[in-house]
């Protein structure tokens, strides 16, 4: 494989460029919660730990396209939780059973998530964006980045 712009051999797959430019940083911070009158640690502080993903500009450029379907499911999860929570709670209260309420909550939430994804595919042009996504993903898998001229070569 050679760069089709400058003929350089110095080319890398987009996935490699993206991996190289992505770093996961662990962050830890300590906070002092006001409600904490009997602290677990000697100083009354709680340690908060998390991670943060950092990407260079180049890695962002070489990132794979995002899956539109998981985004729709993710979007539907929020109203699903609220509506499911509402139905689950009222069912649980009126039937006097926590477990029945929980079952209703789970069923309504997943029903909305997958129903939403289904409606999106069927009526809102979702199938087309999934097709687009597959084409883009395929092109991304065959894309090479030239570190000499910055050009993109598709194999
Ligand atoms: Zn080049």
pLDDT in tens, 80-123: 999 999 999 999 988 888 999 999 999 999 999 999 999 999 99
Distance 133 CA to ligand 1 centre (A): 27
CA–centroid distance, 1 to ligand 1, in Å, is 11
| Dist. CA 10 → ligand 1 center (Å) | 8
pLDDT-above-70 percentage for the chain: 90
* Ligand 1 (single-atom ion) residues, CB below 5 Å: 3, 5-6, 8, 146, 148-149, 151
- C-alpha 58 to ligand 1 mean position (Å): 15
The whole-model pTM stands at 0.67
30-54 tens-digit pLDDT = 766 655 555 555 555 667 788 888 9
* Residues pairing with 153 in the sheet: 144
102 CA to middle of ligand 1, Å? 58
In 32-105, the DSSP E strands lie at 46-55
How many angstroms separate the Cα of 4 from the Cα of each of 64, 66, 67, 84?
Answer: 21, 27, 29, 54
Q: How remote is the CA of residue 4 from the centroid of ligand 1, in Å?
A: 7
Cβ–Cβ < 8 Å for 58, 17: yes
Other beta carbons within 10 angstroms of residue 117's beta carbon come to: 20
């Amino acid at each position: 494989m050679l760069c089709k712009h400058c003929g350089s051999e110095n080319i890398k797959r987009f996935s490699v460029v993206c991996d190289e430019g992505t770093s996961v940083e662990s962050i830890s911070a300590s906070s002092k919660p006001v409600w904490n009158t009997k602290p677990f640690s000697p100083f009354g502080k709680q340690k908060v730990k998390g991670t943060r993903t950092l990407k260079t500009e180049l890695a962002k450029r070489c990132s794979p396209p995002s899956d539109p379907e998981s985004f729709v499911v993710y979007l539907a999860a929020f109203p699903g939780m609220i509506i499911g929570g509402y139905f689950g709670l009222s069912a649980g209260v009126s039937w006097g059973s926590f477990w029945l309420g929980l079952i209703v909550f789970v069923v309504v939430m997943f029903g909305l998530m997958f129903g939403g994804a289904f409606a999106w595919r069927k009526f809102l042009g979702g199938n087309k964006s999934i097709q687009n996504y597959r084409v883009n993903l395929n092109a991304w898998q065959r894309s090479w980045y030239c570190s000499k001229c910055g050009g993109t070569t598709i194999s």
